[in-house]
Amino acid sequence: MTEVIKSEPTSVVTPATTERPFAPPGNLPAALGAGLVAAAVGAVLWAAITIATKMQIGFMAIGVGFLVGWAVRRFGHGQEAVYGVIGGALALLGCALGNLLSASAFLASAQGRSFGEVLMKVAAAPALAERLMEISFNAMDLLFYAIAVYEGFKLARRPISA
């Protein structure tokens, strides 16, 4: 007599994983370096356009935020929030430095001094830099600074792949 073996149907169960697909690690030093260079370039462009037009164009903040965010993303390759924070902080730094450079140029012009001379005095005396920023500050600056920070933060991180 033959024996019939009954077996339960088997199913393959795959465990759910919460891991993200492989993503190479970011390069934080490269992100910082590229972001600082982009903030400096953005600040110089901001100041040059402000000095040339003799008026502050707030949309320059968007350009600075974009430039910094792009540089941090391009050279940092990071997905973590720290890359966004770096992008936002350096975008703000670039905007503030652009305002300080243009205020220094206007001060130099008003006093009949060279831009380099005034810039050296501003660099040597933080109180003078603070006073220049206070004098040149406009409430609208806050809006454009916020937009620059947002752009820098948003663009600095690589998207997380699904």
Q: What is the pLDDT of residues 93-137, one digit of tens each?
A: 999 999 999 999 999 999 999 999 999 999 999 999 999 999 988
**Summary mean pLDDT of the chain:** 88
The two structure tokens encoding residue 1: 């007599």
Mean pLDDT, rounded, for 132-144 = 90
pLDDT of 26 above 90: no
pLDDT of 18 above 60: no
Query: Does residue 23 lie within any of the structural domains?
Result: no
Mean pLDDT, rounded, for 11-19 = 55
Query: Does residue 44 lie within any of the structural domains?
Result: yes
Query: Does residue 90 lie within any of the structural domains?
Result: yes
pLDDT digits (tens, 9 = 90+) for 68-78: 999 999 999 99
| Per-residue pLDDT, 58 | 80
Query: Does residue 93 lie within any of the structural domains?
Result: yes
**Higher pLDDT pick, 159 / 50:** 50
Query: Does residue 85 lie within any of the structural domains?
Result: yes
Say how many Å lie between the first and final Cα of the chain, rounded. 57
pLDDT of 59 above 90: no
Query: Does residue 15 lie within any of the structural domains?
Result: no
- In sequence order, the 6+-apart residues with CB closer than 8 A to the CB of 99 are 46, 50, 56, 133, 136, 137, 141
What share of the chain has pLDDT > 70, as a percent?
A: 84
Could you tell me the residue range of the domain that residue 104 belongs to? Answer: 28-156
| Per-residue pLDDT, 159 | 83
Q: At what angle do helices 60-76 and 139-156 cross, to 10 degrees?
A: 20
Query: Does residue 151 lie within any of the structural domains?
Result: yes
Query: Does residue 45 lie within any of the structural domains?
Result: yes
5 — pLDDT class (breaks 50, 70, 90) = low
| Per-residue pLDDT, 20 | 53
- In sequence order, the 6+-apart residues with CB closer than 8 A to the CB of 107 are 113, 118, 132
Q: How many domains does the chain have?
A: 1
| In contact, 158 and 74? CB cutoff 8 Å | no
How far apart, in Å, are the Cα atoms of 2 and each of 5, 7, 96, 131? 10, 16, 89, 100
